[in-house]
Chain A
């Protein structure tokens, strides 16, 4: 604000009180704000009585067990609560990864289907979106669980496909590759041979891809660089793997009494949670995909039609690459929601990190510490998801169309 000279005809002005000056007022307000904030913080710290705040109790043995163990072998007698918490974090992350994959695939398919000219397909997609978007996620998860428990046979009447695939209320058991521990260690020189071969195959694939991209640019004809590069690498990896003796055994599940041994077991709790999260999030992703596609000018589709692309080519070459710029930031939010919504796990008896932390809190009374830990854990996972998605987003937005 410019200060102008007063006209000399007016009487001399009274000295301006300091609080009329903006800078002084601003500082007063800021000071008052800081004091108020400090008082609130001090009050909270006092009210919570933080004298005993600490995380030492996480070092004590947990004393109970959880069913879903992944990556970490665990027993409640010798292992600490902290290890138990790690087990639970892995359980949560496994749910998130699977749910993110399913939600993305289903969401993109349904989103594209909503725009289909096939009346039935479009209506089915709309029905999917409206059902899963408009009911509470907790209700959906509990309903999935109830359906699974009622619909699938008890272990006594297990549904058996060729003594390799089983379905019962203990879960789905399927054969699963297990690496041979005798072969897979750093001392075995064959491992390094395979790593070297893989690196060579990767280099070759990259070289082929570059050559095909160049030829595509020169001739204007499709030469499918990514498809070629990926196939080359996959075939090379598979052939060398088999040539070196395929040191992986496939563990077929077997039934002993009322439980499965070996194989990969997908429990009804895990399945209900993943189904709930996937369907719910897919309904939002479908709308995001639809919005992203519809935001493109219709000229893009018309041009694609005009140059004689098929419907599939129009979608994969013209529409989706452009729509992704709109879609990815919104989908990132949905992935973050999957992270946060996975905390509903305890509704279906799935021992995720929130459930296990709740048990710790119940047993030790360390509510504040546990909630700090829970919040920090979810925040870290969210930040990790955001970081990965930002990298993807950066790649997509600089993509040459």
Chain B
């Protein structure tokens, strides 16, 4: 009898706690309880936590002195400047490809800026929302210069180094199955696939083309390697934010679009001060959040004040400047690629800032 009473008590406790836990939790998102106002969170903390990669020269790389450099890093700085007014207030967190979404959903980072491809599955099933694409990429292959591999058909039976848990790994499998070729994958994390390729453990190294170029350029004998004239996938690389925070996503997307618009309008880090004081036209005035010829300042209703793009520009310059500073030194030219402005044959087409 006593035991029965005890059981009843336990059941009651369970029921009570279960009811309590159901409140305010009705959207069914798995994992991650940090959601809502990331902008306020960043302002309160006084720093932006940016999840980056630290092994990819040109995109996200930890320099020997501990500082970070690269294309994705510049966008972290731009967004920190936009929200906090200081591009130094970024806390870089090395986010591995396997842990990145968990870091984001657990609130360890506010923003993922680390060569992450938008995919439907990630958008739908993970606690991540993608902001505007910063870099349009595609998957390519690199081989040793003395290799007999010149085309896809030559890769039959090859050992291929690839990063584990990436879209690259899946594209690779799809591609080889479509081609009816066999292959042996060797997958690992971080710089492991690259190291094994250099050690000739694999015949082929595959990744996003920009990443491949960046990694190969960083090697001492970059002439020992050869790219295959082959692109097997679309890889739009975009910053990621947590689900259910559209204010924050708007800020991130519009910093990206703002920097693209700035390039289109001719605003650079060199002339932003002069043009903020005396904007040449209304479009520039709106973008920089300043009044045009004694008029009103347009407040478009972002979660940050209207001058956020101006601050980002002052910190890192426009899209073209970022590209020239970080990606071009790797030998990846911009003209004629997808990442040129739409007016110059690319697909960078930012919506109007108004």
Contact = CB atoms under 8 A, between A and B. Distances in A.
A256 B157 contact: yes
A364 interface: yes
Contacts, number: 129
Given A149-B196, A169-B200, A365-B101, A51 B159 contact: no
Interface in B214-264: none
B102 interface: yes
A154 B200 contact: yes
Interface residues of B, number: 51
B188 A35 contact: no
A253 to B, nearest CB: 13
A351 interface: yes
B169 A64 contact: yes
Contact of B17 (A39, A49, A364): A39
A45 B14 CA distance: 11
Interface stretch (A103-111, A117-125, A239-247, A354-362): A354-362
B4 interface: no
B177 A77 contact: yes
A365 B199 contact: no
Contact of B177 (A31, A76, A150): A76
B9 A31 contact: yes
A139 B278 CA distance: 62
Contact of A257 (B13, B102, B127, B148): B148
Contacts of B188: 346, 349
B31 A259 contact: no
A395 B130 CA distance: 63
B28 A52 contact: yes
A34 B6 contact: yes
Nearest to A51: B28
Interface stretch (B78-86, B178-186, B317-325): B178-186
A258 to B, nearest CB: 5
Contacts of A67: 159, 184-186
B222 to A, nearest CB: 19
B17 A42 contact: yes
Classify chain A's interface size: 35 or more
B270 interface: no
B331 interface: no
A149 B25 contact: no
Given A42-B18, A46-B17, A359-B164, A149 B201 contact: yes
A63 B173 contact: yes
A364 B157 CA distance: 29
A35 B13 contact: yes
Nearest to B184: A67
A388 B173 CA distance: 39
A303 interface: no
B196 A364 contact: no
A238 interface: no
A183 B279 CA distance: 87
Contacts of A392: none
Nearest to A150: B199
B30 A52 contact: yes
B336 interface: no
Contacts of A258: 147-148, 157-159, 203
Contact of A362 (B147, B165, B196): B165
In the A-B complex, the 7 residue pairs with the closest CB atoms? A46-B21, A42-B17, A362-B165, A154-B200, A349-B188, A362-B98, A76-B173
